[in-house]
Amino acid sequence: MRVAIIGAGVIGLSSALCIQEQFQSLLPSLELEVYADHFTPHTTSDGAAGLWQPYASDRGNLQETLWNKETFDYLLGQLHSPAAKEMGLFLISGYNLFTEPAPDPSWKNIVLGFRNLTPKELELFPGYSHGWFNTALMLEGRSYLPWLTNRLTQRGVKFFHKKVESFQELFSQGVDVVLNCSGMRSGDLQPDPELQPGRGQIIRVLAPWVKHFIITHDLKSGVYNSPYVIPGSEFTVLGGIYQHGNWSEENSAKDHKSIWESCCQLLPALRKAKIVGEWSGLRPARPSVRLERESIRLGNVQAEVIHNYGHGGFGITIHWGCAMAAARLFGTILQEKKQLATPPGPRL
């Protein structure tokens, strides 16, 4: 049973790992293969700061909220394991700031210690009248993706550096199931007008005195179009750009200026911070995540595709819940193909 995963970002690698962990022992003939044109550190996931935080308003999508929760709980459980450092996983507290009252987010009971900001705390952020404080998690792609890759390699998963042009290409080589985790480029494999780039740009600086994330919100300009500061283990990420429909992966001088000025206004001490890098990436934005099976008829064979893409700016936040859901879909496929007598239970 050959399973091909297209995409080696956080979604592809974690989906591969979930399937491997749950089914390898039950199905010795299982062969997993990861195909991608970009591997870490050149994926979209590598550019993300790595903060676990869903959007402030949940778009009314309860399923996504559940996947977010599953991811947070899973990561929290990993926090004390010896792997945490290697995974790039650690706790971080911080601030969400608003210029007007905002309803509590869907994730207020998922994170730790969620509360409103006190007047004294708001003095730190002139111009903002309301806000939240909570403790969440960082999962840095630059560490997590290599960690996932190592686990997968140790378990015999094969990696192929190649751009897959179509699902058919893989099926004609004898692949039985394809996991489509191709993020922004899913449209090249199968047109999807709902998938659009949410272009982001970030500046990386050295500001090790910043120990909190600060995410501002401007309900008028939309998600991520307002400055944010996210400290990581090696550098701090400054951002605040979200351009729907913009496919450019080139750094823009205008966006640089906007990020720099707005973040320095938020945290004056940043003016002394040394800039060490800049990056632009495309959030694979979609009104909702596409996580579903698709059966494709190819001649007299039924080929199965599991789609798992469209995670916008919350891929890291939602990845594990989606990977587990993708694994469940895979289990159903196996049952239908009579590869399994009974469905597998959750992996302990």
Partner 1 sequence: MASPKVAVVGAGVIGLSTALCITETCPSCSVTVLSDQFSPNTTSDVAAGMLIPHIYPDTPIHRQKQWFQETFTYLFAISNSAKASEAGIHLVSGWQIFKSTPKEELPFWSDIVLGFRPMSEAELQKFPQHRFGQAFTTLKCDCPPYLLWLEKRLKATGTQMYTRKVADLWELHSEYDIVVNCTGMGAHQLVGDKQLFPVRGQVLKVHAPWVTQFIRDGDGLTYIYPGIHRVTLGGTREKGSWNLSPDADTTRDIFDRCCSLEPSLQGAQDIEVKVGLRPSRQCVRVQREVLSKGGVKLPVVHNYGHGAGGFSVHRGTAKEAAHLVEECISALQSLSSRAKL
Q: Which residues bind partner 1 (CB under 8 A)?
A: 79-82, 84-86, 88, 90-93, 112-113, 115, 117-118, 120-121, 123-124, 133, 135, 138, 207-212, 231, 233-234, 268-269, 271-273
Q: Provide, rounded to whole angstroms, the least separation between the CB of residue 80 and partner 1.
A: 5
**What is the spatial distance between Cα 306 and Cα 161, in angstroms, rounded to a whole number?**
21
**What is the spatial distance between Cα 286 and Cα 179, in angstroms, rounded to a whole number?**
18
**Best CA proximity match to 94, nearest among 234, 207, 228:** 228
Binding-site residues, in ranges, read 44-45, 49-51, 53, 164, 217, 228, 283, 312-317
Residue closer to partner 1 by CB (options 138, 203) is 138
Residue 186: Cβ within 10 Å count? 22
**What is the spatial distance between Cα 81 and Cα 306, in angstroms, rounded to a whole number?**
31
Residue closer to partner 1 by CB (options 139, 291) is 139
For 32, 193, 282, the CA distances from 40, given in Å and listed in that order, are 19, 27, 16
**What is the spatial distance between Cα 306 and Cα 171, in angstroms, rounded to a whole number?**
13
Binding-site residues for D-serine, in ranges, read 228, 283, 313
**Best CA proximity match to 283, nearest among 317, 319, 254, 244:** 244
Residue closer to partner 1 by CB (options 56, 87) is 87
Q: Provide, rounded to whole angstroms, the least separation between the CB of residue 148 and partner 1.
A: 18
Which stretch of DSSP H or E encloses residue 229?
Answer: strand 228-231
Residue closer to partner 1 by CB (options 207, 325) is 207
**What is the spatial distance between Cα 348 and Cα 345, in angstroms, rounded to a whole number?**
9
Residue closer to partner 1 by CB (options 86, 188) is 86
Q: Provide, rounded to whole angstroms, the least separation between the CB of residue 255 and partner 1.
A: 23
Q: Provide, rounded to whole angstroms, the least separation between the CB of residue 135 and partner 1.
A: 7
For the record, the structure tokens of 330 come out as 């895979």
Strands 130-139 and 177-180, bridge-based pairing: unpaired
Which stretch of DSSP H or E encloses residue 70?
Answer: helix 62-78
Q: Provide, rounded to whole angstroms, the least separation between the CB of residue 112 and partner 1.
A: 5
Q: Provide, rounded to whole angstroms, the least separation between the CB of residue 4 and partner 1.
A: 34
Residue closer to partner 1 by CB (options 230, 322) is 230
Peptide linkage before 126 cis (omega within 30 of 0): no
Residue closer to partner 1 by CB (options 112, 219) is 112
Binding-site residues for FAD, in ranges, read 44-45, 49-51, 164, 312-317
**What is the spatial distance between Cα 334 and Cα 136, in angstroms, rounded to a whole number?**
36
Q: Provide, rounded to whole angstroms, the least separation between the CB of residue 87 and partner 1.
A: 10
Helix, strand, or coil (residue 272): helix
